[in-house]
Every structure is written in structure tokens, then in C-alpha cells.
Amino acid sequence: MGLLSYLTGLTFPRGVHPPGLKDDTRELPIRRMAFAPRMVLPLDQHFGPAARALVAKNQEVVRGEPIAEAVDDDSVPIHSPVTGTVEGIELMPTARGPKAEAIILRAAPGDSQHVRWVKPQDLAKCSARELIEAIQQAGIVGQGGAAFPTHRKLRVPDKYPVDTLVINGCECEPYLTADHRIMLEYGQDVIAGIRLAMRAVRAEQAIIGVEDDKPEAIAALREHIKADDAISVVEVRSKYPQGSEKMLIKALLDREVPSGCFPYQIGVVVNNIGTMAQIGQLLPRGQGLIERVITVAGPGVEKPGNYIVPIGTPLRYLLESVGYPKDDPSRIILGGPMMGSTVAALDVPVTKSISGVIVLPEGSELDPAPRIQPCIRCGDCVDVCPVGLNPADLARLAAARQYEVMEEEYNLNDCFECGCCSFVCPSNIPLVQYFRIAKSLNRERMS
């Protein structure tokens, strides 16, 4: 890898090059989206035990006020995105599928919607533990979809010294440009957040990995880095899935996280650029997370762009405010087209981990009704799997229902469902889908 990566730029082995499709939104400044009259805040917006509601029906709340609290160390609170009234606490559909308990808020008409609930903190004196606690209290979770609470990622067991904080500024999914805009417009907050996160994990250095197709973002970040910051911005190659945690560690540090382990076990903690901006913005003010930047794009969107969207905004409201085809059957993707999931209903709300909403009306699908054919053993899937799996063999085993062999001999559990294999397969075999099913069947069998 050594010479090759020197010649071609830092990256991980294999992977794919989907078209970027970012031109519609990458030049547009982030805009603020209006408040929906009704907000839905599921209590389980994060990975870990759901938050516990602190409010009751008909209670008045102000924007920024905590309305649900963390139940334990692995949970995070939820803050009210609007000044208004609690309409109720009900079971509501969520993007994940099943209904979940959610607080429903009605915005007070005519309110200025200022954030009233802030508690400025003097972070200079905070210990690492206090910083992590402050991050938990702000309700911050990972931005990319898994919604892992950020404070948990930063809370590393003492026996694992962390030397490097890696910040993921790759944004390798097609269409998405939210991180790109954040780096351009909120570079100062990003760097401030990184300084705090470095203190929280006691890292000696921080490396921001940005794909080489975002030179403006790289320049913007560098402007805010001071000489005594141990922070560097490193250009990595534009390639999918460069933004995945383990691939980024491979590219930047040439270290591999052992299978089944966490990055901190090799001295690394990885966080997203947007998360850093949130930490930098919210912590000094003592404010909770009530909104985030989301890319809304795709051929079905009339006004594509990056929007600051209040958490809890129903998808229907969001789509109506950007214009979308109401009559056509559409595919609506939360996240990017490579790893995002489709939604079944527009009643579901935006939650803390949604990075993009992509609308593909019928006829504009990026994978028009493919006919599935037998595997022709072209080997393309093997050539692109960034994890070094053999998707062709795995698929053969899946067809034979040999799920256990898949796990035990073919490392099925190392598949992180990036979709590179399905992306290239000329036979249109839904490989990732097979692997998802096999994994969940294995989990069922184990439990």
C-alpha cells in the first residue's frame, strides 16, 4: 500500500466510486427551515435506553428546555425545539419502522422562537469527565445514522489511552453536502468542538480527514487552526466508503481495528465533523441539541439545499417546504443513497441522526427495477469489498441457508453493509439484503 497510497492519495484498499451528485447543493449556503406547527419527538432517538419524558400534556415549554431526561449513563436527554405546548405523549411511527413513544409539541403561534433555555458554562475549568457529562446533557448523538450517543464514544475505559482523535469530514455518500457546508460556514465551531473533544478523550492530536474533492472546506478549516493546536487537516482520496470509521482509520493512520473491537482499543476515537460543530456551538452556551443541518436533495426536490431543521419536524412538512412531487410514487431515502433507508410514511419526524433526505420520483431511481440474475462469478464484488469479505461466496451460502457458516468461516459479522458489493454486481443480486437477513437470523438464533 505504501507507495501506491503515496501516489494516489491516502485511502483504504478497494471501495467504489459512485457519482458525487453534489452539485445541486454544494454551493448553496445553509438556510433555516421554518417551524412546523406540530413537532414529534420520539424518546428513543439514540442508540441506548430511551429518554424519560419530563413533561405532561398541556404543559407549556420554551425552546431549549429539556423535555426528557437521560435514564442512565448510556442515554441522552431531549430538548424542546419550540416554544409552545405539549399536545400529548403518544405512540407515533418513526423512521425505524415500529411506533415509539413520542412527545408531541405545538408551537406557540407568533413566538419569536428564541432559544431561551441556555446556561453558559466556563469550560476552561472543566475536567475531562465534566466535559463528557456536558456533552451528554446537550443530548448530542452521532450524526450519521447509528445515533450512538457522542458522550459514550468519548468515554473511553481508562486502560486504553487514546492518542488520536479522528474527525470524519469525508462525506463520501452521493448527494450529501451538509458536512461540506458546515466546514465552510462553521469552521470555527468545528475547531472549538475538536479542542473540547480532545480534552475529553485526552488525545495528543486530532486529524480531520476530508476528501480531496472539497478543497474549499479544507482551506476553511485550516484558517481556524492555531499554531499551538495539535490539529491537522489531511486530504484523503474521494472514494466510497471513505467516511466509514474503520476505513478512515486505515487511510489516516494505517491502523486496523481488530475485528469485533472498538477503535479506542487501538488508541483512536472517531467522530463526525457535524458533531464537532455541535459541541463547539452548544457547550459554551450550555444549550441542548434542538436542530441540525440536513441535506435535502434528489431529482424530486424543487428547492434542494442544506437546511437547519428543528429536530421533530415531520418529514411531510419538510418535504412540503422544499417542494416535492406529491402524486408520483417516490422513493424517499433518509441518509445517503448508498446506506440510507427508505421511509414507509411521511408522518415520521426528523431525528438527531438524519443527515439527508433524498427524494427519487419514479423513473429517476438510481437503480431502476433491476432484473436479478444468477451470479456469473465475475468477482467484482470481491474486488470492491472494503472489509475484504467474499460477497460472492457469502451469497452462495445465503442461498443455501448456511447462515452459521457465513458467520463462522466467512466473517459475515464484519460486513458493515456499506453496499459496495451490491453497487457493482452486474447480476443485480441484492447482496447486502442477503447479509442483513443472515445477520438478523443469526442474532435470533443466538438469543
Partner 1 sequence: MTPPRIELKSSPHMKQASSVEQIMRNVVLALLPVCGFAVYHFGISALALMATTTLVCVLTEQLFTRLSGKPSTISDYSAVITGLLLALTLPPAFPLWMAALSGFFAISLGKMLFGGLGFNPFNPALIGRAFATAAFPEASSTWTQAGLPERFSEFLPSTLALPFTTPASVDAYTTATPLGDWKFGDVHAPAWDLFTGMTPGSLGETSALIILLAGLYLIARRMLDWRIPAAVLGGAFVTAALFYAVDPDHFPTPWFVLLSGGMMLGAVFMASDMSSSPVTPAGVWIYGLLIGFLAVIIRFFGGLPEGVMYAILLGNAMVPLIERYTQPRTYGKRGRRGV
- Contact window for ligand SF4 (CB under 6 A) among 158-166, 330-338, 400-408, 409-417: 409-417
- Contact window for ligand SF4 (CB under 6 A) among 78-86, 215-223, 227-235, 375-383: 375-383
As a whole number of angstroms, the distance between CA 274 and CA 288 comes to 15
Given partner 1, ligand SF4, none, residue 343, with its beta carbon under 5 to 8 Å by kind, binds: partner 1
H or E segment at 106?
Answer: strand 99-107
Q: How many residues does the chain have?
A: 447
Given ligand SF4, partner 1, none, residue 88, with its beta carbon under 5 to 8 Å by kind, binds: none
What is the per-residue binding string for ligand SF4 in 82-121, x denoting contact by CB under 6 A? ----------------------------------------
- Contact window for ligand SF4 (CB under 6 A) among 129-137, 283-291, 349-357, 412-420: 412-420
- Crossing angle of the two packed helices 431-446 and 403-410, in degrees rounded to 10: 100
CB 289 within 8 Å of CB 282: yes
421 labeled part of a ligand binding site: yes
- Contact window for ligand SF4 (CB under 6 A) among 98-106, 144-152, 316-324, 421-429: 421-429
CA angle (337, 268, 184) in 5-degree steps: 50
378 labeled part of a ligand binding site: yes
385 labeled part of a ligand binding site: yes
As a whole number of angstroms, the distance between CA 216 and CA 207 comes to 17
Given ligand SF4, partner 1, none, residue 395, with its beta carbon under 5 to 8 Å by kind, binds: ligand SF4
Query: β-pairing, 356-361 with 341-342?
Result: unpaired
Residue 58 CA: distances (Å) to CA of 61, 86, 110, 150, 288 = 9, 5, 18, 32, 22
Strands (E) located in 190-248: 205-211, 231-236
Radius of gyration of the chain (CA): 22
Q: Is 219 in the site for ligand SF4 (CB under 6 A)?
A: no
381 labeled part of a ligand binding site: yes
Choice between 21 and 167, CB closer to partner 1: 21
Choice between 323 and 430, CB closer to ligand SF4: 430
Single-letter amino acid, residue 298 = G
CB 140 within 8 Å of CB 282: yes
As annotated, the binding site for [4Fe-4S] cluster includes 375, 378, 381, 385, 415, 418, 421, 425
Q: Which residues bind ligand SF4 (CB under 6 A)?
A: 375-381, 385, 387, 389, 391-392, 395, 415-421, 424-427, 429, 431-432, 435
